Chain A
Amino acid sequence: MDSMYARFKNVVVGAVVGHEVGSNHDYSSKNQKLEPKFPYSRPHFLNLDNEEIHISADHRLRPIIHPSKPLPYHAGYAECINAGKSRWNEDQAVYRQGVLTKPEVQFSIPYTYYGIFDGHAGVGAALCAANQLHHIIHEKLVDSQDDIWADFNGKRSVICKQIDLLVIGALESAFKEMDQLIAEDRTKYLAPGGCTACVALFILGKLYVSNAGDSRAILCNNNNFQPLSMDFTPESERDRIRRLVENQPSLIGDEFTSKEFLQPLKTVDLGKTVMFRDAHMKGWAYKTVEQEDLKSPVIVGHGKRSRLMGTIGVTRGFGDHDLYAIYTKVQIKPLLSCRPEVQVYKINSTDKNEVLVMGTDGLWDVVCCSKAAEIVQKSITSFSEKERYICAATCLVGFARGSLVNDHNWQLKNGKQASCDDISVLVIPTFPYKLEYEELCKKYNQKLSDS
């Protein structure tokens, strides 16, 4: 197992260059003695014992683990560990059910929360998010529950905001607080690295997807799909980062240039005329190459290989408070963001087969959305309601993981490179939440007419 681990360690592209704990994260020597806030574990709903946690971390076999007890409405989940890029599975997942209670009227609004977190450069941040973010979101929802209640009740006043804005606000402020908590905890606990966060909240007949990072949520229905999140990578966030750098050029230190060139420049290019654009520019123009231009561009590469300051491949999420650009003393955190993009979907489908699929980039690197929809559809038609979503999640992870060929290469069925990353997938039916909402309304109206 360990030789496999060592072999893959150097060939797999991680979210952070220079990977493994501590390499470009700065910890003062006193921090080395700190204990983690949350010990390593797998998602609570898997109920794995220590031995099973070790089995799940076998890089040679990469077993696909799924819950042994059903999740709400038979929702599916499956995961498998990376092929050796890190000792432990740096993804985490969580689900919780909660209620917003209105004691005066003895009525409560239920909600269901799912989250996936893809850690990098350590397991700490993802564990903190998986264990704490739902508490923070719950607090934020409780803060707004009178307003949510007023809107549900149709007794909205002039100053009252509508439910969508209240829930979106709760999610946005919770994400900010989560990141701050990780920052504050640095003096008390060991929590290396950072993580992405993709959260789904089912409440009052709607689905709110709150995403920061490159995990992804899509709706699948009969071989069709609809994205409910966007990926935040150096490439997709070029504009946000360019604007930041434009306003505060000191953020990139002396090591980087805010200019973009069509090709990487070398010393021999000095004096040549090349096409460029600077942070303040939308379009492209020509300039003569000076010494200054030979610095590394703040964003390099494309797609999965795009990197911010040559170091990190994801630009939103939690943690990374001590992350420095590789080989430099330039802090990266100021260019990162914990702000989520929240999409709202009113569950209006009359189709029982509609599901929400959430996955970490280990899935999406090798499975496109339409392929995912196809795999889900196949499971839905082949298995009974009780099993179909777990089967769908298992098949999605199985497809992305592929199989080990010649003892060293994980391949998809078509022979292409399979995912060597940690893979986590949730498959959640949406229809029951529509029914749940209709039930709730009925119950409330009954209550009104009774009184």
Chain B
Amino acid sequence: MSYAYLFKYIIIGDTGVGKSCLLLQFTDKRFQPVHDLTIGVEFGARMITIDSKQIKLQIWDTAGQEAFRSITRSYYRGAAGALLVYDITRRETFNHLTTWLDDARQHSNSNMVIMLIGNKSDLESRREVKKEEGEAFAREHGLVFMETSAKTAANVEEAFINTAKEIYEKIQEGVFDINNEANGIKIGPQHSPTNPSLPGATGSSGSQGGGCC
């Protein structure tokens, strides 16, 4: 399917905060209460519309486990947006945000848009982190903030789409060099002169065997 832009996202945060569930809710509109441990990285994709332009989000869902930290760190590079997720019912996942943020800032490009997400907002009775604390952290570090529930889908669309809006605005302002793919932004095939297809693909359409997402 054609798109005007492709934005690359990365989802980060402690293990068990619901990163993969947020992705699944966003891409497949469903919730899986028991999710397998993410190993290394998994990919997801979805098309959205901003300013009547088709934008494809390519999402890298990373493992939260310490054992994979050195591997996943290398994926920050080349992301236009990051979703930094904590679990509102587990204080320690909020306490680790600074470490995650330092890591992200150190290894990503400086223009990367970071959205802070307090997930599991449906579990109000078990809440350990107040919404105001999340807001304060976001304000202090210049992040966009939102509480979501991957279970009820509350704010999930908004979290992904608002991040894309921020990136899109930055493009309009000329902050991003959209010709450098290392920024996590790619101009769609119909806008771009070069569309590398796989070797051995018959014809020049490059659309053998299914197609993307």
Contact = CB atoms under 8 A, between A and B. Distances in A.
Interface of A: 1, 35-36, 38-41, 49-55, 58, 60-64, 66, 68, 78, 87-88, 123, 379, 382-383, 386-387, 390-391, 394-395, 398, 403-404, 413
A201 to B, nearest CB: 27
B206 interface: yes
Nearest to A379: B67
A62 B199 CA distance: 19
A39 B208 contact: yes
Contacts of A52: 43
B70 A36 contact: no
B37 A50 contact: no
Contacts of B118: none
Contacts of B37: 383, 387
B32 interface: no
A404 B74 contact: yes
A49 B208 contact: no
B184 to A, nearest CB: 10
A37 B196 CA distance: 20
Interface in B54-69: 58, 60, 67-68
A53 B198 contact: yes
Contacts of B39: 66, 387, 390-391, 394
Interface centre among A38, A63, A383, A404, by most chain B C-beta atoms within 10 angstroms, is A63
A184 to B, nearest CB: 19
Given A50-B198, A394-B40, A61 B75 contact: yes
Contacts of B36: 386-387
A64 B45 CA distance: 18
A50 B77 contact: no
A68 B42 contact: yes
Interface of B: 36-37, 39-43, 45, 58, 60, 67-68, 70-71, 73-75, 77-78, 181-182, 196, 198-202, 206-213
A51 B68 contact: no
A398 B45 contact: no
A50 B206 contact: yes
A206 B194 CA distance: 51
Contacts, number: 90
Given A36-B200, A61-B75, A61-B77, A50 B43 contact: no
B199 to A, nearest CB: 5
Shortest 9 CB-CB contacts between residues of A and residues of B = A39-B200, A51-B212, A398-B71, A36-B200, A394-B40, A40-B199, A64-B40, A40-B198, A40-B200
Given A40-B198, A63-B41, A55 B212 contact: no
B57 to A, nearest CB: 12
B68 A394 contact: yes
Contacts of B60: 63
A344 to B, nearest CB: 32
22 contacts: A1-B182, A35-B200, A36-B199, A39-B200, A39-B201, A39-B202, A40-B198, A49-B210, A50-B207, A50-B208, A50-B210, A51-B45, A55-B58, A63-B41, A64-B40, A88-B198, A88-B199, A394-B71, A395-B67, A395-B68, A398-B40, A398-B68
Contacts of A39: 198-202, 208
A226 to B, nearest CB: 26
B19 to A, nearest CB: 16
Contact of B77 (A40, A55, A404): A404
Nearest to B78: A61
A123 B199 contact: yes
B210 A403 contact: no
A398 B73 CA distance: 11
Contacts of A41: 198
B200 A38 contact: yes
A62 B74 contact: yes
B52 to A, nearest CB: 23
Contact of A403 (B58, B70, B181): B70
A427 to B, nearest CB: 12
A1 B181 contact: yes
Contacts of A55: 43, 58
Nearest to A39: B200
A49 B70 contact: no
Nearest to B37: A387
B40 A78 contact: yes
Given A40-B200, A50-B209, A395-B67, 18 more contacts: A36-B199, A39-B198, A39-B201, A39-B202, A49-B210, A50-B206, A50-B211, A51-B45, A55-B58, A60-B182, A63-B40, A63-B41, A64-B41, A66-B40, A382-B67, A391-B39, A398-B70, A403-B70
Contacts of A123: 199
A64 B77 CA distance: 14
A62 B40 CA distance: 12
A51 B197 CA distance: 10
Nearest to A52: B43
A389 B196 CA distance: 34
Contacts of B206: 50
Contacts of B67: 379, 382, 391, 395
Contact of A50 (B42, B73, B74, B212): B212
Contact of B70 (A53, A58, A413): A413
A296 B73 CA distance: 46
Interface centre among B200, B202, B213, by most chain A C-beta atoms within 10 angstroms, is B200
A395 B39 CA distance: 10
A54 B37 CA distance: 25
A382 B213 CA distance: 34
B28 to A, nearest CB: 14
A53 to B, nearest CB: 7
Contacts of A403: 70, 73-74
